[in-house]
Amino acid sequence: MKKAALRRPTRMSEEEKQALVAKILAGDPSAFTEDPEEARKIAHRLGWVRAPERMRSRIEELRAFGEEIREQFEEVVWCGMGGSSLFPLALAEIFGPQEGYPGFTVLDTDDPETIAEIEETLSWEKTLFVIASKSGTTVETLSHYRYFWKAFEDRNIKPGPHFVALTDPGSPLEKEAREKGFLRVVHHPPDVGGRYAALTEVGMLPAALLGLDLERAISAAEEMFEASSPEIPWSYNLSAWLAQYMVEHFIHGKDKLTIMADPLLRPFALWIEQLVAESLGKNFLGIIPIVGESPGSPTVYGPDRYFVYLGLRGRENLYRRLFSDLREADFELKTYFLEDRYEIFAECVRWELAVALAGAFLGVNPFDEPDVVRTKRKTREILDTLRETGEFPVEFYLDEDTGIGFLYAETARIEYPRLTALIKKFFQDMSPWGYLALLAYLPPDPELEEIFRDFRTLIRGRRQCSTVFGFGPRYLHSTGQLFKGGTISGRFIIFTRKGRRPEQVIPGEGVTFWDLQFAQAYGDFRALEEAGRPVIHIHLTEDYREDLRKLYDIFEECLRL
């Protein structure tokens, strides 16, 4: 993309800014670029501005399908990654299935423990799998499909009636779904990218399966579009003001957008994180979303921070003291209080339009992800080597005190490969205006997330730096673009563990889920190293929870010195 000149919102006239909003909402790619080829690509990604209008005509069809599934099944397993999973995950955790509707599990990992747990707990005759992949080629999602399809066959259950595909028209997945007799094929809108698809079938199909009020959801989205119309003066435009808030702080050196949320809304923050990171983290710049940190006193936050809080009306007192402390310390804070949970559908509009506008202001294409391919390429190479030789092309150093393995990139090199020395130097070299990402290829469960939240609190308190956390491979489809294509201020620690399950072979691939998971982790290590990012790969034992406790003590010791 030919980089546009930076447009500072405060230096544009009211008419120019409103014209920019009008272009985006009209689906005009000239809001982002003057390059004809790039304009053609962007034009094919602007269908989200018409999503509520399109979905309104499908309410009855989706509602009827939700009722059909309700009568036939007791459990729905939604298989997807990134844009195909994060908003369904938010809906499942914020609303849950309504009374009488099937349980709803989002599977966006290839972790072998998670796969095994699903296998052991399913009532197979009463379970529906939704295979959601826009391209129809997402490796994790197709692995889920092929593995669970065979699991039905092994139990002498005809698989087809237990599968639904959500994919682009004409994709390889659609072709296979029709050939194999899936219960239904639902089309992903081809002119909408995954992370902008929350208000399309990607969000409304799971909403229907959960028994939510689709009319109410779409009406909330329509109201926000009306409140973001180009006819509305800029200072009253709800989406435009969020865009200006983000961009003006970025221009003044504050690139850490710290998003805090009411505990009931935290899953939605993961969707916002992907939208911001993947849309704006490229061309060696980026607004860095910080999501999931524990609230702290203003003294632990650096001057590169600014804040957004998303809460529910009637629960304002949860963080009132924190708000007061932040403002007294001269931190910028914008608060949004939702009247009820259905207003997250309106927030989708606010954030989608705000992030698109921010991309236009910063001169980046908010609809591509050019650096994601780095890890995909490395992963394929590593798996090919495994298939050819029976081994991974990696050898870890071993910490004799803990039994934990580790690797480090050239950018994190030390003279003597000892784990404590490596971690000590890693933090000594870290600037307070950078950020640290802890990336765990482990089961995505709340207990582990809390353990890593303790790591984040420790590091932030000692180094006054921002911290990011992500389960792998989920983050590869979310923040991974920012890590490899955005600002070079990031440092990264990847966690894997032993635990291959030889019985979990993915049909047609000749590798297990653990093999795929490890190849993605090591592939991302190599991709980050190739991009010049300081990165450590820590390989835990089978007793990885105990290893994490040992590592916490090591981190605490190293950060004290």
Q: Is residue 1 part of a domain?
A: no
Q: Give residue 280's pLDDT.
A: 97
Q: Give residue 301's pLDDT.
A: 96
Q: Is residue 499 part of a domain?
A: yes
The answer on 287 and 173 residing in a single domain is: no
Q: Are 206 and 214 in contact (CB under 8 A)?
A: no
The radius of gyration computed from the CA coordinates of the chain, to the nearest angstrom, equals 23
User: DSSP letters along 33-67, please?
Assistant: ---HHHHHHHHTT-GGGGHHHHHHTTHHHHHHHHH
Pairing between strand 256-261 and 184-187?
unpaired
Whats the size of the chain, residue-wise?
561
170: alpha, beta or left? (left if phi > 0; alpha if psi -120 to 50): left
The dihedrals phi and psi of 538, each to the nearest 5 degrees, come to -105, 125
What three-state secondary structure class fits 135?
coil
Which tokens hold the place of 78?
A: 């939604």
Give the span between the Cα atoms of 100 and 261, in whole angstroms.
29
Q: Is residue 65 part of a domain?
A: yes
The answer on 205 and 292 residing in a single domain is: no
Q: Is residue 40 part of a domain?
A: no
The residue out of 212, 241, 260 marking a domain boundary is: 212
Q: Give residue 442's pLDDT.
A: 98
Contacts for 121 with CB less than 8 Å, ≥ 6 apart: none
First-to-last CA distance in the chain? 45
The residue out of 312, 328, 362 marking a domain boundary is: 362
Please report, in tens digits, the pLDDT of each residue of the chain (561 residues total). Answer: 445 568 888 889 999 999 999 999 999 999 999 999 999 999 999 999 999 999 999 999 999 999 999 999 999 999 999 999 999 999 999 999 999 999 999 999 999 999 999 999 999 999 999 999 999 999 999 999 999 999 999 999 999 999 999 999 999 999 999 999 999 999 999 999 999 999 999 999 999 999 999 999 999 999 999 999 999 999 999 999 999 999 999 999 999 999 999 999 999 999 999 999 999 999 999 999 999 999 999 999 999 999 999 999 999 888 889 999 999 999 999 999 999 999 999 999 999 999 999 999 999 999 999 999 999 999 999 999 999 999 999 999 999 999 999 999 876 666 667 899 999 999 998 888 999 999 999 999 999 999 999 999 999 999 999 999 999 999 999 999 999 999 999 999 999 999 999 999 999 999 999 999 999 999 999 999 999 999 999 999 999 999 999 999 999 999 986
Q: Give residue 431's pLDDT.
A: 87
Q: Give residue 317's pLDDT.
A: 85
- Domain of 296 in residue numbering reads as 9-34+228-362
C-alpha angle 156-162-167 in degrees, rounded to nearest 5: 135
The answer on 242 and 107 residing in a single domain is: no
Distances from the Cα of 276 to the Cα of 99, 244, 329, 358, 369, angstroms: 34, 14, 26, 9, 12
Distances from the Cα of 486 to the Cα of 42, 136, 330, 437, 483, angstroms: 20, 27, 27, 13, 6
The answer on 19 and 56 residing in a single domain is: no
Q: Give residue 318's pLDDT.
A: 82
The answer on 450 and 305 residing in a single domain is: no
Q: Are 476 and 522 in contact (CB under 8 A)?
A: no
What three-state secondary structure class fits 344?
helix
The residue out of 362, 390, 420 marking a domain boundary is: 362
Q: Is residue 547 part of a domain?
A: yes
Q: Give residue 414's pLDDT.
A: 63
Looking up tokens 């397993």 gives: 77
The answer on 99 and 182 residing in a single domain is: yes
Looking up tokens 């997250």 gives: 344
What three-state secondary structure class fits 532?
coil
The answer on 336 and 401 residing in a single domain is: no
The answer on 83 and 140 residing in a single domain is: yes
Give the span between the Cα atoms of 538 and 480, in whole angstroms.
18
CB atoms within 10 A of CB 180: 13
The answer on 304 and 256 residing in a single domain is: yes
What CATH number does the domain containing 150 carry? 3.40.50.10490
Q: Give residue 432's pLDDT.
A: 85
What three-state secondary structure class fits 400?
coil
User: DSSP letters along 422-437, please?
Assistant: HHHHHHHT--TTSEEE
The answer on 82 and 171 residing in a single domain is: yes
The answer on 394 and 294 residing in a single domain is: no
The answer on 30 and 57 residing in a single domain is: no
The dihedrals phi and psi of 132, each to the nearest 5 degrees, come to -110, 110
Q: Is residue 532 part of a domain?
A: yes
User: How many domains in the chain?
Assistant: 3
